[in-house]
Amino acid sequence: MTDRPRAAALELLRSVREDDAYANLALPQILHGFGLSGRDAAFATELAYGTLRCHGWYDTVLAECLNRPLEKVEPALLDVLRLGAHQLLAMRVPDHAAVDSSCTLARGVGAKPGASARAGFVNAVLRKVAALDSDGWADRVRAGRADDDVDWLAARWSHPAWIVRAFRDALGPRRGELPDLLVADNAAARPSLVARPGRMDVDELVDLPEVDPGRWSPLSGTLVEGTPDALACIRDGRAGVQDEGSQLVALALARAEVDGDAGLWLDACAGPGGKAALLDGLARERGGHLVAVEQHPHRVDLVRRSFAPASPSVVLAGDARLSPWGDLRFDRVLVDAPCTGLGALRRRPESRWRRTPADLSSLGGLQRDLLRAGLDAVRPGGVVAYATCSPHLAETDLVVGDVLRGRDDVVQEDARALVPELSDVGDGPGVQMWPHRHGTDAMYLAILRRQ
């Protein structure tokens, strides 16, 4: 009999590896194709996501158990070994079940005449893996390296070394927290929900049996059972799926003091629409409306559908660097710039292996240009919130500093007072959230005021 949950997990690994698929988009289709729901779907999700997230560590362990270089192992068979290692080292799966089920998967990933040999190979390797638990393997692999050795931390906590270095630099004098941050990145995050103002009260959201109150945002709830799309309020748009850090960024922009606010707000990088939907509700509560700009045509309709029915807010298709809003000047502007997404690695299991340092170069110019466009779009006395879902200094303080050096009509204000729910967000004036401190994505926020 086919072990459908494990077969589904293996199919997701294949899809990510061969088709360059996004795990969060491919998995629901795979689960449906295998007819999985409930506990079986949850098991397949944990197995697949955990393996994608931590395969760097599993490759380190497997390399100790192989008599050949890792790159000489057939990719499909290596996927089977990684799934087996995750069950042995990170899940409460009995050793015999993890090994036997992996042997069964191995028989089906290649030509039939070699099925027994593949199963025997997997059996031999995984029995070596099972000889130690994860901490035991860590003691064996570490080989006397220092606690703060970047290559050791990268291997043990399954992050590319360049990302570990970037996190260490962003933590600054508190770089001793680096292992805690890496561990937090490897912990699956429960979905955070937001009650959209004017459409649903947060008390109604957290009264749902599947939802607990959120930790920080006054509009948030945490889904503790089931999937978001099983909730009617998510399907009809009264609530959305949104990390609390992202909610606090939008709330901070709305909380900033702006004399004579006429209620004309701009989201310069609106797709796919989460922050735009929240800003739409906040603006409408004050009698205003939002202009949302999205460059990619296939996401314009996503943004438009996120707004409340009959909302006066509008969506413009275009490049914010080219000011598609014309001569309009806004009271509040959000520049949620495209970034590497290094602050959301816990939610996107494969993304850490796809990003490279070269992405920083390609994104850096775009981020600076978008921030300059946002500052040109705000009226004197108005504010711009610059946000990224990345703690990398090249995407946060360095971008803001470079743009400020070219302008004498803009000042940066201390953003910490605009997120009073949080403490321990840095020395200012920007705000840096962290998964290991706050349980949010590693969102960055800077508040700039046009003079």
- Contact by Cβ (8 Å): 87, 93: yes
Beta strand pairing status for 378-388 and 330-336? parallel
- HSE (CB half, 13 Å, CA atoms) of 97? 9
Closest residue by Cα to residue 155 from 168, 141, 143, 169: 141
List all residues 6 or more positions away from 168 whose beta carbon is below 8 Å from its beta carbon.
Answer: 150, 175, 178
For 152-182, give one letter per residue: b (16+ CB within 10 A) or e.
bbbbbbbbbeebbbbbbebbeeeeeebeebb
Instruction: Fill in the DSSP letter of residue 321.
Output: G
> What is the enclosing helix (H) or strand (E) of 363?
helix 358-377
> What is the enclosing helix (H) or strand (E) of 185?
helix 178-185
Which amino acid appears at position 438 of this protein? H
Q: Can you tell me the distance from the alpha carbon of 274 to that of 246, in angstroms, rounded to the nearest whole number? A: 9
List all residues 6 or more positions away from 61 whose beta carbon is below 8 Å from its beta carbon.
Answer: 85, 89, 129, 137, 141
**Which residue intervals of 378-412 are DSSP H helices?**
397-405
- Which member of 54, 103, 339, 389 is catalytic? 389
**Coil, strand or helix: which one is 90?**
helix
- Contact by Cβ (8 Å): 234, 210: no
Closest residue by Cα to residue 405 from 431, 429, 371: 371
**339 catalytic, yes or no?**
no
Q: Can you tell me the distance from the alpha carbon of 196 to that of 392, in angstroms, rounded to the nearest whole number? A: 30
- Contact by Cβ (8 Å): 107, 120: no
Q: What is the DSSP string of 266-310?
A: EESS-TT-HHHHHHHHHHHHTT-EEEEEESSHHHHHHHHHHSPTT
Q: Can you tell me the distance from the alpha carbon of 255 to that of 231, in angstroms, rounded to the nearest whole number? A: 30
Give me the numbers of helices (H) and strands (E) for the chain, helices first please: 18, 12
**418, β-bridge pairs:** none
Closest residue by Cα to residue 377 from 306, 291, 311, 300: 291
Task: Give whole-number Cα distances, 138 to 84, 157, 352, in Å.
Answer: 18, 10, 21
| Positions marked active-site | 389
